C-alpha cells in the first residue's frame, strides 16, 4: 500500500533548505557524482552557506541548481517545493494569492513561481498515433460559461477564449492498457482551418476521431481520418461508443477549478493554466508520487527564459 503523502509528511521530509538541495542533487546525480577532476565517483560534501557541494578528495565544486529554475532564485527551495506539493496534492491547484498568504511572499513572487513551474509542466509535442481520440472545444471566461454551442454560431470568441482538447481513450489492446491522455491548446477561433491544423499536427490519420456535429469538423474524412460524430444540438450525447464524454468531463474539472481557484482568467496565461490541469490529468495514475514526478521534471530541465 502506498503511504499517503500528507502535508505533515511533506514538511517533515523537506524540513530544511539542505534537505531540499540534497533532493535536487540526488535527482541530478542519482548514481553519485563522478568528480571531473578525480575521474571517479567520490563523496561530495555540502559547503556551508552555499548551494554547492565539494569533492572530499580534491575539493572540486558542483552546483545542483545550475541551469534549473532555482538557479538565481532568492526564494527558499522549501517554498518552491511547497508550491509544487500544493499543485500536485489538490485537485485544482492553488492560486498565487493563496500562496502569497500561506508563505508570506509577495504576490509577484508567488505568481512568478507558478509561472515558471507551469512552463515545465507543458507538453508541447503531444501526438496521438492510433486509438480513439475525442476532440472538442470549450469556451472560457466571459458570460454564459456553458453555452459553447450557442456561442459558436453567434459572436464567436468576442468575450471568450477557446480551448481545444483532445483525449485519447483508455482502450486496452493486446492486453496493454494505457492511461487516458489529454492535449490542450488555446486556439484563436473554432474555424475549420484552425481545427484541421491542430488535428493534423497532433493526430495520425490511423487514429479514429470523435467530435460533435460542429461544421468545423465535417471535412476531416477528406484528410484521411475515420471521423464519427454525435449530434449534441439534437440532444444526442452517446451513440454506443460514439461520444465525447471524456473530454467533456475534463471541461467540467477545468472550469470548476479555474473559476474556483483563479476566479479571473487572463488570456495571457490561459494556456499555462490549461497545461497545469492537463499535467495533473496525464499523471493522475501516479497518485501519491505526483510530487516526485513534478520535482524530477522541474529539477532536471534546463533553465527557461522568463
Which residues lie near Zn ion (CB under 5 A)? Answer: 35, 37-38, 55, 57-58, 60
Minimum Å gap between C-beta 68 and Zn ion is: 23
Minimum Å gap between C-beta 53 and Zn ion is: 11
Minimum Å gap between C-beta 29 and Zn ion is: 14
**Rounded Cα distance, 145 and 147, in Å:** 6
Pairing of β 40-41 and β 34-35 = antiparallel
Minimum Å gap between C-beta 296 and Zn ion is: 26
When the beta carbons of 39 and 125 are compared against Zn ion, the nearer one is: 39
**Rounded Cα distance, 131 and 170, in Å:** 9
Q: Contact 175/193 with Cβ under 8 angstroms?
A: no
Task: Give strand ranges (E) for 11-96.
Answer: 34-35, 40-41, 44-46, 53-55, 61-62
The cell for 207 is 487514429
When the beta carbons of 58 and 304 are compared against Zn ion, the nearer one is: 58
**Rounded Cα distance, 213 and 233, in Å:** 8
When the beta carbons of 11 and 58 are compared against Zn ion, the nearer one is: 58
Q: Exposed, middle or buried by CB within 10 Å (0-12, 13-18, 19+), for 4?
A: exposed
When the beta carbons of 10 and 60 are compared against Zn ion, the nearer one is: 60
The cell for 120 is 515545465
Q: Specify the residue for cell string 475534463.
A: 250
Q: Exposed, middle or buried by CB within 10 Å (0-12, 13-18, 19+), for 77?
A: buried
Q: Specify the residue for cell string 535536487.
A: 24
Provide the sign of the torsion angle of the four alpha carbons 41, 46, 52, 57, taken in this order.
Answer: negative
φ, ψ for residue 161 (rounded to 5)? -105, 150
Contacts of 263 (CB under 8 A, 6+ apart): 95
Minimum Å gap between C-beta 37 and Zn ion is: 4
Nearest Cα to 236, choosing from 210, 198, 199? 210
What is the enclosing helix (H) or strand (E) of 260?
none
Minimum Å gap between C-beta 269 and Zn ion is: 45
When the beta carbons of 60 and 259 are compared against Zn ion, the nearer one is: 60
Minimum Å gap between C-beta 55 and Zn ion is: 3
When the beta carbons of 33 and 261 are compared against Zn ion, the nearer one is: 33
Minimum Å gap between C-beta 299 and Zn ion is: 23
When the beta carbons of 9 and 57 are compared against Zn ion, the nearer one is: 57
When the beta carbons of 9 and 38 are compared against Zn ion, the nearer one is: 38
Amino acid at each position: 500500500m502506498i503511504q499517503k503523502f500528507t502535508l505533515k509528511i511533506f514538511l517533515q521530509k523537506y524540513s530544511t533548505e539542505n534537505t531540499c538541495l540534497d533532493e535536487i542533487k540526488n535527482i541530478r546525480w542519482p548514481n553519485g557524482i563522478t568528480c571531473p577532476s578525480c575521474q571517479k565517483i567520490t563523496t561530495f560534501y555540502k559547503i556551508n552557506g552555499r548551494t554547492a557541494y565539494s569533492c572530499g578528495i580534491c575539493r572540486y565544486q558542483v552546483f545542483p541548481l545550475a541551469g534549473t529554475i532555482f538557479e538565481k532564485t532568492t526564494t527558499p527551495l522549501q517554498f518552491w517545493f511547497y508550491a509544487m506539493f500544493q499543485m500536485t496534492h489538490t485537485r485544482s491547484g492553488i492560486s498565487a494569492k493563496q500562496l502569497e498568504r500561506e508563505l508570506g511572499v509577495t504576490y509577484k513572487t508567488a505568481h512568478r513561481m507558478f509561472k515558471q513551474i507551469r512552463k515545465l509542466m507543458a507538453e508541447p509535442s503531444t501526438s496521438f498515433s492510433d486509438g480513439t481520440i475525442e476532440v472538442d472545444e470549450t469556451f472560457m471566461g466571459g458570460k454564459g460559461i456553458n453555452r459553447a454551442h450557442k456561442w459558436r454560431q453567434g459572436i464567436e470568441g468576442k468575450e471568450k477564449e477557446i480551448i481545444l482538447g483532445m483525449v485519447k481513450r483508455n482502450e486496452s489492446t493486446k492486453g496493454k492498457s494505457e492511461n487516458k491522455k489529454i492535449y490542450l491548446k488555446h486556439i484563436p477561433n473554432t474555424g475549420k482551418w484552425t481545427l484541421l491544423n491542430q488535428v493534423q499536427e497532433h493526430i495520425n490519420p490511423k487514429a479514429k476521431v470523435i467530435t460533435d456535429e460542429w461544421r468545423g469538423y465535417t471535412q476531416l474524412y477528406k484528410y484521411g481520418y475515420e471521423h464519427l460524430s454525435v449530434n449534441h444540438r439534437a440532444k444526442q450525447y452517446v451513440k454506443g461508443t460514439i461520444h465525447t464524454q471524456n473530454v467533456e468531463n475534463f471541461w467540467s474539472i477545468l472550469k470548476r477549478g479555474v473559476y474556483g481557484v483563479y476566479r479571473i482568467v487572463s488570456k495571457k496565461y490561459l494556456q499555462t493554466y490549461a497545461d497545469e490541469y492537463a499535467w495533473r490529468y496525464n499523471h493522475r495514475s501516479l497518485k501519491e508520487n505526483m510530487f516526485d514526478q513534478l520535482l524530477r521534471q522541474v529539477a532536471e530541465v534546463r533553465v527557461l527564459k522568463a
